[in-house]
Amino acid sequence: MYDTRTRDLKEIVDREGLVTIYCCGPTVYRDAHVGNLRTFLLADLISRTLQLQGLEVDLIQNITDVGHLADDFQGEDKLLAEAERTRIDPFEIAREFEDRFHQDLALLNVQPARAYPRASENMQSMIESIQRLIEIKSAYVGSDGSVYFDATSFESYGAISGNKLEALKPGHRYEYTDEGGKKFHADWALWKLAGARTQMIWDSPWGLGFPGWHIECSAMSIDLLDAHVDVHVGGIDLRFPHHENERAQSNSLTHSEVVQTWVHGEHLLFEGKKMSKSAGNVVLLKDIKTRGIEPLALRLVFLENRYRSQMDLTWAALEAAHATLRRWKNSMAQWGEAKDLKIDLDLSQAFAQDLDTPRAILRLRAIEKDQTIGNQDKRAIFLFADQVLGLSLAEIPMSKPITGEVQRLLDQRVIARKTKNWSQSDSLRDQLANLGIEINDGAAGQSWHWK
């Protein structure tokens, strides 16, 4: 896999058959949009690929339910802002969106992680980590009483992002608002005093307050993965400052390189534009379903693009993937019912080489068309690929039971066709189409399937 820190392809090395993965999870103040889902899918693909190679995977994904620490005085905690807007308890909001996050992952066939630790439930561990950082002089209590990490104490700061401390001069992009108690502009808060805040605050040796955003990942990955993360996954935007700071904290705490390989997923555009509220193009999995597109079509679209390249998601691409998926499922059903797997070297190599899923998809299309490969083999190879692709290819495409009304219309149409009442049969076909049924008239008579 491509490692952001060394800027090179790096082999993922197991330790006695085990690989640990940590994936930065959602901040649960709103629904995850399809861009977030692409990153979560990346962790799933890495995990499934390793499993295909016979390795055991231990995956941890955090839930950020404390809200991000605002970096200037204008910034508001996202969760609390949402709580204020909706007048609902912030923890209740967090749980609600956390549930929906899990539902979305399930619809995309993302295998569950071993644990989804919540920041709010690991407060003690974070506080202990901060205390230890102060002890070893990597952190200090600032003049405002909050605790800050001393960026200059960590020698290789900037290794992931390429940023140099001297170059990180404040004020070139945003109007810089000095954060009171810092000694140095690149330092960041580990524990922020509550100030006027009354909700989502905890007691600590430094007083009531809340943790900085980066410390949760350090604390939880050290606790749950025993300070050894083989693969750390996240969106490209987290490279800096989040992962840079996380690495500084984790390595300082353990005196070791905690993360072996940093994998970053590139961002997603939608219809050519960055997804943002202001552009009005934030797309949720829900919206895709509303359009009658299968959630797994989204998974297929993502697989058709390399995780390291920016991709432009479009409705046309989603619809094309929906059609491909349907065709594959139909073909699979025609190819038999066997559950045998057949290893295909091209496919396993494509997966193993920096997750080249586009090449894998290409290979499948070639196998699909290849007349020298028998149906049984085709099915077995597709099933082999599906272990990583996770597209439920063996699923029978028409899964919903039909209603009595649909059955009645179908029966009427059979009669209409027998009596060559074409106008009635066409009108019935239209009615059925509105109900989501597609009609095929073949030599053997009428057949149908869900669109």
Partner RNA sequence: GGUCGGAUGGCCGAGAGGCGAGGCAAGGGACUGCAAAUCCCUCUACACGGGUUCAAAUCCCGUUCCGACCUCCA
**Beta carbon nearer to RNA, 167 or 203:** 167
* Near RNA in 339-378, by CB under 7 A: 356, 358-359, 362, 365, 369
Among 10, 78, 102, 286, binds RNA (CB under 7 A): 78
Cβ closest to RNA, residue 340 vs residue 441: 441
Partnered with residue 441 across adjacent β-strands are 446
* Tokens read off for 342: 């057949």
Can residue 426 be called a binding residue for RNA (CB under 7 A)?
yes
Site residues (CB under 7 A) for RNA, limited to 273-312: 274-275, 304-306, 309-312
Q: Which is nearer to RNA, 111 or 446 (CB)?
A: 446
Report, in Å, the least distance between residue 216 CB and RNA: 11
The strand pair at 259-265 and 229-235 is best described as parallel
Q: Smallest distance from the beta carbon of 73 to RNA, in angstroms?
A: 11
H/E stretch holding 61: strand 56-61
Q: Looking only at residues 22 through 41 of this chain, which bind RNA when binding is defined by CB under 7 A?
A: 24, 26-27, 35-36, 38-39
186 contributes a contact to RNA by CB under 7 A: yes
Interacting residues with RNA between 56 and 75 (CB under 7 A): 68, 70-72, 75
Residues in the chain, total: 451
Cα dihedral: 413, 416, 418, 419 (round 10): 180
Q: Which residues of 205-217 are buried (b: 16+ CB within 10 A; e: fewer)?
A: ebeebbbbbbbbb
Distance of closest approach, residue 16 Cβ to RNA, in angstroms: 30
Helix (H) or strand (E) holding 449: strand 445-450
Nearer to RNA, 132 or 267 (CB): 267
Q: In a 10 Å sphere around its CB, with 0-12 CB exposed, 13-18 middle and 19+ buried, how is residue 187 labelled?
A: buried
Q: What is the nearest approach in angstroms of RNA to the Cβ of residue 200?
A: 16
Judged by beta carbon, residue 29 or residue 384, the one nearer RNA is 29
**Closer CB to RNA, 38 or 48, in the complex:** 38
Q: Which long-range contacts (CB under 8 A, 24 or more apart) does 290-296 make?
A: 291/315, 291/318, 292/436, 292/451, 293/318, 293/319, 293/321, 293/322, 294/322, 294/325, 294/326, 295/107, 295/108, 296/107, 296/108, 296/109, 296/325, 296/390, 296/391, 296/392
Stretch of 53-61, 108-116, 169-177, 389-397 lying at the interface with RNA (CB under 7 A): 169-177
Which residue among 22, 148, 154, 188 contacts RNA (CB under 7 A)?
188
For RNA, the binding residues in 258-277 under the rule CB under 7 A are 265, 267-268, 274-275
